[in-house]
Amino acid sequence: MHLSNGFITARAHTNIALIKYWGKKNDDLIIPNNNSLSLTLDEFYTDTSVKFSNELSKDSIFLDDVDISNSTKIVNFLDIIREKASISEYAYVKSYNNVPTSAGLASSASGFAALAAAASKAAGLQLTSKELSKLARRGSGSATRSIFGGFAEWIKGNTDNDSYGVEIENPVTMDINMIAVVLNDQPKKISSRVGMKRSVETSPYYNAWVKQCEVDLIKAKTAIKENDFNTLGKISESNAMRMHALTMSAEPAFMYFNNDSIQVINSVKTLRENGVECYFTMDAGPNVKIICKSKDIKKIKAALTKTFNDEQIVVSKPGCGVQFIN
Ligand code: 2P0
């Protein structure tokens, strides 16, 4: 990437929630109904460069060299930064994703975390991690956690000021890897934003979800503290299935699973029956992510490559928090 002087560049990694965020109590400010907990991954990230300039008459935004300047989500986000920094210039934004965009691999998490860091610094703001996390949250909920490396928690809060991410453990001491099985890298039909809103408004199980997340979160944090991989894996898997139950119990019902997702889930169960410690989680798309220990990566890959290509299987270790790279 060749950029002229004056650009600020930040890199943020995606995160995958083990305790999921699914539903908002404030759509505008993106305040969630439950705390969530995630693992930041080193393999998937977004690099974003920003420069404000008085030569522009509107924001000029490129994602992977495609002009997306009419993205209201991003322009509105830049407006928040302009207001905070008391500036009026428009911005050049150049972003490169090392994540299949909108494939349920959380490109909006790394995208808005990188944009929050690069654009706020380019606008002259000096924000703490906590402030950056709150800012990233205004772009996309899951971005709140991508400011941090390792295990991170998004504390739901009630207002713009008390809803932000915190680091739970970074660097991670547990031997934990995440194998992403990329089953479809096309944008999804029902976005997370629309899907979670429909679940909040119509699933009869929604309140039970919020209550259960509180229980799951405590157990997950204890498992992290006690280096208890299996307990963390089990809770993550059941929490993911409970989230997906909200999509299937919504009106009209919808689901993110496809046939291949079910096949991977069954492979995980078979591997487990054969003594391999591994667990799955899924987000708002058909891709399945498998949590495992380093010693089992080979065995799991061997099982998956019977059905899927090597390129569809990406192994990731815990990643670091947002950083400036120029
Ligand atoms: C999560 N997901 O905790 C959950 C689990 C997907 C499934 O956060 O509306 O793109 O921008 O706040 O953050 C994806 O939703 O939604 C997400 P908005 P976002 O990672």
- The one-letter amino acid code at 74 reads I
Domain limits, the chain: 8-173, 177-316
Rounded Cα gap, residues 111 and 119, in angstroms: 12
Atom of ligand 1 nearest to the CA of 112: 11
Ligand 1 center to 21 CA (angstroms): 6
- pLDDT tier at 102, thresholds 50, 70, 90: very low
Looking at CATH, the fold of the domain delimited by 8-173 is given as: Ribosomal Protein S5; domain 2 (3.30.230)
User: pLDDT tens digit string along 63-86?
Assistant: 999 999 999 999 999 999 999 999
Rounded Cα gap, residues 106 and 132, in angstroms: 18
**Strand ranges (E), the chain:** 8-19, 24-26, 31-32, 36-53, 60-63, 66-67, 90-97, 151-155, 164-169, 177-181, 278-282, 288-292, 313-316, 323-324
User: pLDDT tens digit string along 144-194?
Assistant: 999 999 999 999 999 999 999 999 999 999 999 999 999 976 667 899 999
Ligand 1 center to 316 CA (angstroms): 20
Atom of ligand 1 nearest to the CA of 142: 13
Q: Rounded mean pLDDT of the chain?
A: 95
Do domains 8-173 and 177-316 share one topology? The answer is no
DSSP element (H, E) containing 80: helix 72-85
Q: What are the φ and ψ backbone dihedral angles of 62, each rounded to 5 degrees?
A: -125, 130
- Taken in order 184, 185, 191, 195, the sign of the CA dihedral is positive
Note the residue count of the chain. 326
The answer to ipTM > 0.90 is: yes
- pLDDT tier at 38, thresholds 50, 70, 90: very high
- Choose the weakest-confidence range: 181-195, 228-242, 300-314: 181-195
Is the CB of 142 inside a 6 Å radius of any atom of ligand 1? yes
CA angle 176, 150, 213 (to 5 degrees): 85
Residue with tokens 């689901």: 255
Residue 103 pLDDT:
47
Atom of ligand 1 nearest to the CA of 16: 20
Token pair listed for 192: 């997370």
Residue 189 pLDDT:
84
Is the CB of 193 inside a 6 Å radius of any atom of ligand 1? yes
The greatest distance separating any two alpha carbons of the chain, rounded to the nearest whole angstrom, comes to: 63
Residue nearest (by alpha carbon) to ligand 1 atom 9: 193
Residue 48 pLDDT:
98
DSSP string, 108-173: HHHHHHHHHHHHHHHTT----HHHHHHHHHHH-TTHHHHTS-SEEEEE--SSTTS-EEEEEESS--
Rounded Cα gap, residues 319 and 326, in angstroms: 19
Domain 177-316: assigned CATH number: 3.30.70.890
